[in-house]
Structures are given as structure tokens and as C-alpha cells.
Amino acid sequence: MPLIPSWVESANDATAAFPLNNLPLGVFANGDDDPRCGVAIGDLVLDLRAAEEAGLVELPGGPLMDVPFWNEVMEAGPEVWAGLRGQVRALLAEGAARQEEVRPLLHPLAGVNLYLPFLVSEYTDFYAGRNHALNVGTMFRGAENALPPNWQHIPIGYNGRASSVVVSGTEVRRPWGQVKGPNDPVPRFAPSARFDIELEMGAIVGLPSEGPVTVAEADAMIFGYVLLNDWSARDIQAWEYQPLGPFQAKATATTLSPWIVMKAALEPFRVATPPREVPLLPHLAEPGPMLYDIDLEVALKPEGGAETVIARTNYREMSYSAAQQLAHHTTCGCPMNAGDLLGSGTISGATKESRGSLLELSWDGREPIALVGGGRRRFIEDNDSLILRGHAQGDGYRIGFGDCAGKVVPALKDPYGRD
């Protein structure tokens, strides 16, 4: 599919993140206005709450966009999702009849504040990238025992904290925790010295379920995708994770990009998961291509310094798709809710420059990363900003997600004195 022309000229740039082909959904506020639902187009955002109030957009069971989150639209189902995209596309397409009514509802993206675009019901994060699992396993268990025995059969995951999910631009405070190094006789309580990121995609569940669903049914339940940064305190994680896995190491924050790219916008970019050494049981097998060809990168910017792109990879590297993860999540009868968030797991490629975490890029701190302008990093230092970016490349257009960024600020001097 080629670029769909819009009367919003900035949306027709081949390098623009938000062409008419995309129409990602967010929540924004212009000045002192209340946050409201909007859709990004070029370098502007269309106020959809106002468009619905004016009768420019009409959805069954509406109004659905009179609240500052997208959960009500999600719960309305796929026919409403498609209807919304179709109506907004008609309003913004080249030659649209109602341009003069729409124009006053457009606001420059550069001048608005962006908010978390949906209410996160629950959050599950996975460990579903083979290259990441091999790298981490090799570091700590040796190459011969790198993959856990169950890894080839199921998407391994853990339940995270929905309460710690934040939108891009939110500062992340370095956490305190209990750590025990190899030379420490006993554990100690200290700020994390090995704070890290994980480059991930997040899938947003739009439809609830009450029992097991197939992979195809799970795919139909997914509303859209965001970029996701799973902040990880590696030293806290190393001490706590046996036998039940990550806990406090992953509870500091999870940062999301501010725009939900609806699944419909990604349809032209579907790809199959990579070939497997071990066939999956039938209930987890792909009925068709379930991953997406999305180019991803990680940048690190010290305070006052230049930005360095430290990794480039692609979502197609994952061994399990979001649909397979969601289907597996339901096998025991676990109900899923509209607004549930599934983290893909770290997206790493096969080469050093395509690794999706500093743990891998610096090989557990043994091979520091060189930064533009001088300096090196093993792990994140105070006042570093980490930025995740991604886009799917089409014929003369891109489907972008917007930056997923966070700045790490120093740990509290006294966590219990709140200093």
C-alpha cells in the first residue's frame, strides 16, 4: 500500500511518523485544557473529543471519547475500531469535504502535553526473544545451558506492576534495593548501581476473554501497539530472582510511547516468527504471520551531551508474537481485560550492535559502550536519558510510534526519610 495523501501537508512527508496510513491514538492537553482523546496526523493532533461533540465523528454507543483514555473505544469492539479509523481518514484525506470544520480542531504537536493513552488494567512482561535469552543465559550459565529447558516450548513471563507504567517523558528515579555482590558476605541495602533498560514492544488487549483462546482469536483481541521500556535494576534482580523471578528489580517503572498504533495500521508489515528448532504444541502454533517488520533503535543522551544511538534491531527477531503470548496467558482460564498490557520481552538481534539492553551491549559491564563526544557506559548513570524509537517502513511513508523516553534522576538520599 502506498502513501495515502492528506490535506494536512506535513502528513505527506515520506519521513513523517504520522501519515494518514497511521492515525495513532493518544491523549493530549493544549495549554490549560483538560486532557482529551486525539489522533496524530503529520505534525498536528486532531481533538477527537471535540470532533465527536461536533458530530464530525459518530460511533455506536457514543459518546466514547468524552473521557481522557481509550478504554471505552477498546471495549466497543473491532467494528467500532474500524469505523473510527474510516471516519477519521475521511475527514483528513486529500480533498475531504469538511476541511474547514476540522481545521480549528488541529493543534501543533510541539505545543501539547501528552499523557498515558489508556488505563492499564494489568501488566505482564515476557522473555520471548531468543537472542536476548541466549546472551543473558550465556553470561550467567554458560553457552551449553543458556536457554532454560522450557524456553523453546512456551513464552516465559512474569506479572508486573500496572501502577508503575508511565508515559514517555516521565523521569525515572534510580531505585534502592537489596543487593549482594559475589564478594559481599551478606546482602546490603543500596541504590542500584546496574540500572538498565530493555527495548520492547507493548501489545494492548482491547477485548476481554473468560477462558482459553486460540492464537487467531488472541490476535483479534489486540487493539494496538506501543514502544515499551522495561527499566531493570540488574543488581537487585540478580539477588532476588531465584526461584520466582523478577520482583523489585522490575517494579520501578515501565515507560510507554504516547501513541497507540492500531493493529490495522500495521497489517501491511506482518511477518512470521523466525524458524524454530523445536515445534510448538498445536495450540500455540502460528495460523499465519503474527509478528511485524518494525525497525527499532535505542539512543543514550547524557545530560548536556550528544545523543548516541547504541542499538538498532527489529521486532521481527522475536520468537513469540504478542498473539501467541496472549493465547498462552489464557490457557489456564486466566481472564484478560480490556487495557491489559503485554510486554514483548527484550528485542535483540544476532549482532552486538543489535542488542536491546545495556546488560548485553556491555556484556555484563565487561565491554563498556563508547559514546559520541567521549565517555563510556556499562550501565545507566544519573541524568542519562534513554530514548527508544521505532517505525515500520512502507512505500513512501512510515508508521511511527513517537519517542519512548525517560531520564534517570539520582536515587533518594534516604528512601525512608523521603530526602
Domain boundaries along the sequence of the chain: 9-115, 123-409
Grid cell 500496572 — which residue?
162
Pairing outcome for strands 254-256 and 232-233 = unpaired
Beta-bridge mates of residue 373 = none
66: nearest Cα among 86, 47, 82: 47
CATH topology of domain 123-409: Fumarylacetoacetate hydrolase; domain 2 (3.90.850)
One-letter identity of residue 412: L
pLDDT for res 417? 80
Extract the C-alpha cell encoding 65.
Answer: 471519547
Residues 6 or more apart whose Cβ sits within 8 Å of residue 85:
23, 262, 264
pLDDT at res. 125: 98
- Structure confidence at residue 108 (pLDDT): 98
Mean pLDDT of each 10-residue bin along the chain, 419 residues long:
96 98 98 94 98 98 96 98 98 98 98 98 97 93 90 96 97 97 93 98 97 98 98 96 91 98 98 96 97 98 98 98 98 97 98 98 97 97 98 97 98 84
Distance CA 57, CA 63 (A): 10
9-115 and 123-409, same CATH topology: no
Detail the DSSP E strand segments found in 109-187: 112-115, 123-126, 157-159, 165-167, 172-173, 176-179
Strand pairing category for 341-343 and 123-126: parallel
Q: If residue 201 lies in a helix (H) or strand (E), which one and from where to where?
A: strand 199-205
**pLDDT score, position 418:** 63
Grouping H, G, I as helix, E, B as strand and the rest as coil, residue 333 is: coil
How many angstroms separate the CA atoms of 224 and 40, rounded? 15
Q: What amino acid positions are annotated as catalytic residues? A: 132
Evaluate the omega torsion of the peptide bond into residue 243 and state whether it is cis, within 30 degrees of 0.
yes
Domain 9-115 classified CATH 3.10.20.70?
A: no
CA separation for the pair 104, 92 (Å, rounded): 13
CB atoms within 10 A of CB 187: 13
Helix segments in 54-186, DSSP class H: 71-76, 78-92, 99-102, 130-141
Separation CA 322–CA 200 (nearest Å) = 11
Which residue type, as a one-letter code, is found at position 67?
V
| Cα atoms in the 13 Å half-sphere on the side-chain side of 312 | 4
pTM: 0.97
Please tell me the distance from the alpha carbon of residue 266 to that of residue 21, in angstroms, as a whole number: 9
Q: What is the pLDDT of residue 24?
A: 99
Q: Tell me the pairing of strands 112-115 and 106-108.
A: unpaired
